[in-house]
Amino acid sequence: MVCMENIKQLCYDNKIILAPMVRINTLPMRLLALDYGADIVYTEELIDHRLIRCYRKVNETLQSIDYIDKSDATVVFRTCSREKPYVVLQIGTSDPERAAKAAQVVEQDVAGIDINMGCPKDFSLKGGMGAALLFNPDKACAILSAVVSAVKIPVTCKIRVLEDIDDTVALCKKLAVTGVAAIGIHGRTIKERPIHPNRNHFIKAISEALNIPVIANGGSKEIKVFEDIIKFKNVTGCSSVMIARTAEKNCSIFKKDGKLELFTVIRDYLHHAVDYDNVAPNSKYCIQNMLQNIQETEQGRLFLESTSLQQICDLWELGDYCRQKQKKMNYLRFEERDVACNDQKRIKQNSTDEEESNYVNSLKCMYIRSLYPRPEDLPKTKLLNWAKKHNKPLPKYHTEQFEKLFKSTVTFDNQKYSSSFWEKNKRWAEQGSAIVCLHYLKVYDIDYMKINGILG
């Protein structure tokens, strides 16, 4: 088999690859896999609708490229120059036109595009995406042909095997005609789970039948050390190997000289999470999958109680590093949310707003959960206790929503207080208005707010 590899085109032959995994394959995990020796890294599945809604932003602070959802300022995809030659973005889609459009949105910042044709989850199946495409080969081929024609980078697809080996080979031959650069094969059917054996002989038959690289997947159950990757490659007769669950548990499986101790892997992961401002819930989810039964230890229990990236980093002696980095990054959140508000014209100006504007004490401030580790520190709690202490009526909150963003006004002691910063959920919006009120009550001063990145 000949692989035409050059600077511009990603080669899929003789590679060891980080497989796409939902919620796992964000930028920190992809960079970690590259650090440890992976040749190619796939993103988690990103739905075509969301990619099409995104705008591209060069993030000077993080030295990254961000694709941000215009509707709520969520970072849908973050990448950087380090991974550009090796990252493949996986798209969830059921429509050729949308798939092509989504691929074009990100084409300039990735090395390849993959179409998910193997996900067995209900969400994908009901939407005609993922493994649903295995049973609609004409649409699957139409999607691949559309994307191949729309972009100049390699296009692949990742599938699951069918019940019958001959049917699976026939399907792969049909998909290969569309011009894809490689096909990834998970050796289980839609109904089968990790407890079932991987159908390695299916993958071998496909590899022998095609003249493009075939990437074997599904062997994590037998892969414990690096040498097992090579065994899996030989058993399946494939061009390359794609690893999911084993890498999820300990990403240093990619190291040829042996795996690292798990706590070292977690520290390495956290460095990337901090450097690229990865959201705490996602980082926590990734680490939980690494820890597994170690969560029963004292450190594991403290980890489960953590709610912020800073708290997680404290457990692995990276707290100071995290705090220093996050102060700089908080300013980014103001800018990104402003773009979302302005682009979608979320800040509604009507007669009621104009009548009430003179009565609202307003600041542009942001609620940052990590600054309030104890329940009694939360701005709403602090304001409530202040009211009780000074025999004042309890604060009342009114929150307005526009699409996916929220802004709250708190009425306290016959005055109204609000942040002009739109938050992503109602609870945070209420906390933001409480911060403004506490500032006017001289509980929080301007210097405190600036130092902690609260004030925009």
The two three-digit tokens of residue 69, written as one number: 């959802």
Q: Check the CA dihedral 162-141-27-241 and report its sign.
A: positive
Catalytic residue among 11, 54, 119, 365: 119
3-state secondary structure of 279: coil
Contact 220, 196 (CB under 8 A): no
* Residue 126 vs residues 48, 186, 332: alpha-carbon distances, Å: 15, 21, 37
Asked whether the beta carbons of 240 and 246 are under 8 A apart, the reply is no
Please, are residues 155 and 180 in contact by the beta-carbon 8 Å criterion?
yes
Which amino acid is residue 48, in one-letter code? D
Q: Do residues 389 and 360 lie in contact, with contact meaning Cβ atoms separated by under 8 Å?
A: no
Asked if residues 103 and 91 have their Cβ atoms less than 8 Å apart, the reply is yes
In 265-420, at which residue ranges do the beta strands (DSSP E only) sit? 360-363, 396-402, 405-412, 415-419
Secondary structure of residue 285 in the 3-state scheme: helix
Residue 3 known to be catalytic: no
Phi/psi for 116 (5° steps) reads -75, 115
Q: Is the distance from CB of 216 to CB of 236 less than 8 angstroms? A: yes
How far apart, in Å, are the Cα atoms of 59 and each of 78, 81, 294?
9, 12, 36
Provide the annotated active-site residues. Answer: 119
